[in-house]
Amino acid sequence: MSQRVVLSESQKRSVVASRVPRWFFAAALILISACLFIGIRLFLHPPPVPQPQAARSESVSDLTVPALPTPTTITLGKGKTLSGVLAAQGIPQNTVTQIVEALRSHLNLRQLRPEDSLRLHHDPDGAVTKVVYRRSPADIFEVHREEHGWIARQREVAIDRRVTLVAGTLEDTLFDSIERLGEDPRLVLDFAEIFAWDFDFASDSQPGDRFRMLVEKLYVADQFVEYGHILAAEYENGGTVHTAIYFRDKKREGYYTPEGESLRRAFLKSPLEFSRISSGYRRARRHPVLGGLRPHLAVDYAAPTGTAVRAVADGVVKFAGRKGGYGNAVILRHRANYETMYSHLSRFGNGIRRGARVRQRHVIGYVGSTGLSTGPHLDYRVIKDGCFVNPLKQTFLPGEPISHSSLPSFISTRDSFLQQVRSGLQAQTISANIHECL
């Protein structure tokens, strides 16, 4: 029978140890030593704590931005169209159409001027992004390319309105006399138009006549742009002073005498703005072509071929065509049994034919030398109740005067304007006297 042997704890450890190879203990010792070495090194030299990295920022100037092309400036030029000028710059036709349509709501594209300019802005790829259309320092229009197409708007410009006195003495013609003062011809036309119903500068003006006007001048940054209204005007001829006051109320605006009578009349004094009378109304005159004494029941105005001839009053074209020795002629029928006749025309105005209605100042034809004529001039006649009358001696009723309700305001305006004219003239006289003394 077998006998069971019981071992103590120490005996068990001895038995286990005797079964484990010695190399195992050596490897374990090396591993433990390495771990202790690493732990001591980490304790004595801990790794640096990582610091958060600052966010990097770049300004726009640090980035490389493609430079925009230099804007292109173009003058419209004589006989050119806006679409044609844009297309000549290589702009696609659909883009040209959009730009033109956008500007159409701000500009009358049939009245563009050769001196008008365009400034084209492009993106880095060369495509146009903005067009600036400049008519004057005060009239600038911008067309921008936006997400849904092209949008046009007028640039806001600060306009300085100044009131200036312009005065002088007639030496030869009104044109030359006012231009010598440094003024633009447009001011001459505006001044003459004020008195067009009451005074004929071609027949009535004389050297030594005096003119003066209080006029608005519009400036942008000290650059003259254009004239505003002539607020008051005076023309002194043969001891008679013709005075006009500009006045506007809720119903109308226009020029009036100091008493409040309208200067506008049914008939103009002359069918030409500026010319000279070469032959007056006479019962007997030697005919320059046929010879002999014949009545000249007209007023002849000498003017260059092509000068515009205006209708002196509202009316209807009774005749337009060739009329014997009168050459190309137009006859207008007016109210109160008046007719006017314009002869020796080089050509007719647009739409001038029998039955056409015309307004006062409408261009009905152009000065020529057709028919029995020795040179370019206008033969102008007035017919009253079927008989020729002297055009220079006709007096026509004025327009509607200042209303009673507006009269106090008109008187105040009149006195203010005339006081500025008179004080300005006095200042000019004092200045001239001082200059002479020096």
- Amino acid identity for residue 358 in this structure: V
Least confident of 49-58, 139-148, 354-363: 49-58
pLDDT at 132: 92
Are domains 72-154 and 160-256 of this chain identical in fold? yes
User: What is the residue extent of each domain of the chain?
Assistant: 72-154, 160-256, 276-393
pLDDT at 292: 46
CA 179/CA 182 separation, integer angstroms = 5
CA 337/CA 394 separation, integer angstroms = 14
- pLDDT band for position 381 (50/70/90)? very high
Q: Give me the phi and psi of 61, to 5 degrees please.
A: -70, -20
- Of 389, 373, 289, the residue nearest 329 (C-alpha): 373
Give the residue with greater pLDDT, 425 vs 379.
379
- pLDDT band for position 434 (50/70/90)? very low
Query: Cβ neighbours of residue 289 under 8 Å, at least 6 residues apart?
Result: 325, 372, 373, 374
- Condensed to tens digits (0 to 9), the pLDDT of residues 5-33 reads 454 555 555 544 555 566 555 666 666 66
pLDDT at 181: 92
pLDDT at 277: 74
Give the residue with greater pLDDT, 348 vs 114.
348
Could you confirm whether domain 72-154 is CATH 3.40.630.30?
no
Architecture in CATH for domain 276-393: Distorted Sandwich (2.70)
- Of 145, 157, 147, the residue nearest 102 (C-alpha): 145
The DSSP bridge pattern shows strands 223-237 and 210-220 to be antiparallel
- Amino acid identity for residue 220 in this structure: V
**In this structure, are residues 365 and 352 in contact, taking their beta carbons and an 8 Å threshold?**
yes
With helix as H, strand as E and coil as C, how does the chain read? CCCCCCCCHHHHHHHHHHHCCHHHHHHHHHHHHHHHHHHHHHHHCCCCCCCCCCCCCCCHHHCCCCCCCCCEEEECCCCCCHHHHHHHCCCCHHHHHHHHHHHHCCCCCCCCCCCCEEEEEECCCCCEEEEEEEEECCEEEEEEEECCEEEEEECCCCCEEEEEEEEEECCCCHHHHHHCCCCCHHHHHHHHHHCCCCCCHHHHCCCCCEEEEEEEEEEECCEEEEEEEEEEEEEEECCEEEEEEEEECCCCEEEECCCCCECCECCCCCCCCCCEEEECCEEEEECCCCCCEEEECCEEEECCCCCEEECCCCEEEEEEEECHHHCEEEEEECCCCEEEEEEEEEEECCCCCCCCEECCCCEEEEEECCCCCCCCEEEEEEEECCEEECHHHCCCCECCCCCCCCHHHHHHHHHHHHHHHHHHHHHHHHHHHHHHHC
- The burial class, CB within 10 Å (0-12 / 13-18 / 19+), for 323 is middle
| Mean pLDDT, the chain, integer | 81
Q: Maximum distance among all alpha carbons in the chain? A: 190
CATH topology (fold) of 160-256: Nuclear Transport Factor 2; Chain: A, (3.10.450)
pLDDT at 396: 75
Average pLDDT over residues 163-174: 90
CA 360/CA 106 separation, integer angstroms = 28
CA 112/CA 115 separation, integer angstroms = 9
Q: What is the pTM of this model?
A: 0.62
pLDDT cut 70: percent of the chain above it: 76
Q: Cα–Cα–Cα angle for 373, 377, 380, nearest 5°?
A: 100
- Of 253, 246, 378, 375, the residue nearest 311 (C-alpha): 378
- Of 144, 101, 108, 99, the residue nearest 123 (C-alpha): 144
- Condensed to tens digits (0 to 9), the pLDDT of residues 193-218 reads 899 888 878 778 889 999 999 999 99
